[in-house]
Amino acid sequence: NTFPLEVVNLESLTVLDLRHNHLETLPPEIAQLIGLEILHLDHNNLLFLPLELGSLYTIRELTFAGNEVRSPPVEVLDRGTSSILEYLKRMQDGRKTQRLDLRNLELRRMPVEVAFMTGLTSLSLSSNHLQKLFVGIGQLSFLTEMFLDYNELASIPRSVSFLTNLTVLSLSHNKIRRIEEWLHPHMPLVRLNLCDNAMKELHPILLRFSLLQELDISMNPLDDPPHEINSQGKKKIFQ
């Protein structure tokens, strides 16, 4: 049922076979196996792979069939060992620095564990396949910048308005139609990028963002203001 901690003292270990046990977790100390190349975890009761595995650059084969692993997400698991280790390393770095970079991971949904990283100041989920954000994103109250470019987002949850320290929000190249449902003037936005979305009209709520310095609404099918105004930036748009 439990991982034998004596194993982590075997610093020269290259192959570790833990198949067909009843393990529910792996300890952080597994990161001490700095020479590990092959790790078999098949047919246990693991729900999560520990972030510490991301520190083991030497692993070239990781198997976990017969577990119901929920983290990393299935789209990362399906891409194999190198992608799994990369994801775990990024999550580990994010917890240390409070700046989380999950770009280009083929994610279809926002990883649930991100909601528990409440100290984050920066979050990037750009260049994935996200169609929605979970409501819990509003718990990340220390966020100052969030990058969600190049996804498939058609709407944003109202809980984003709880991010009262957010100064940079980039949502370019999505499918967003409306902004008034989730933008709130108490957000101290300085930079807002809505380039290449599906907005047909510009809501006057933007006039209430007194700190806003950069606004990009280009490449939207806007009826008003016209394209030649949109391309000239915030000052001309607001005029």
Same domain for 93 and 30: yes
Same domain for 106 and 92: no
**Gap between the Cα atoms of 209 and 216, Å rounded:** 14
Same domain for 1 and 49: yes
Same domain for 149 and 174: yes
Residue with tokens 């957000």, as numbered in its chain: 187
Neighbouring C-beta atoms of residue 49, cutoff 10 Å: 25
Same domain for 158 and 40: no
- State which of 72, 97, 122 marks the end of a domain: 97
Q: Two tokens at 19?
A: 């198949």
- State which of 81, 97, 113 marks the end of a domain: 97
Q: Which of the 8 DSSP states describes residue 48?
A: B
Same domain for 171 and 212: yes
Same domain for 233 and 120: yes
Q: Two tokens at 155?
A: 């709407």
Q: 183 and 207 in contact (C-beta within 8 Å)? A: no
Same domain for 49 and 124: no
Q: 150 and 173 in contact (C-beta within 8 Å)? A: yes
Provide the edge-to-edge strand list for the sheet that holds 145-147.
99-101, 122-124, 145-147, 168-170, 191-193, 214-216
Q: 84 and 106 in contact (C-beta within 8 Å)? A: no
Same domain for 114 and 88: no
Helix (H, G, I), strand (E, B) or coil at 214: strand
Same domain for 229 and 161: yes
Q: What is the dihedral of CA 36, 77, 98, 137, to 10 degrees?
A: -160
- State which of 65, 81, 97 marks the end of a domain: 97
- For residue 43, give the CATH number of its domain: 3.80.10.10
Predicted local confidence at residue 119, as pLDDT = 97
Same domain for 111 and 20: no
Same domain for 119 and 78: no
From first to last of its 239 residues, the chain has per-residue pLDDT tens of 889 999 999 989 999 999 999 999 999 999 999 999 999 999 999 999 999 999 999 999 999 999 999 999 999 999 999 999 999 999 999 999 999 999 999 999 999 899 899 999 999 999 999 999 988 899 999 999 999 999 999 999 999 999 999 999 999 999 999 998 888 889 999 999 999 999 998 888 888 899 999 999 989 998 766 666 655 555 666 65
Q: Whole domain around residue 45: which residue ranges?
A: 1-97
Provide the whole-model pTM: 0.90
Q: Domains in the chain: how many in total?
A: 2
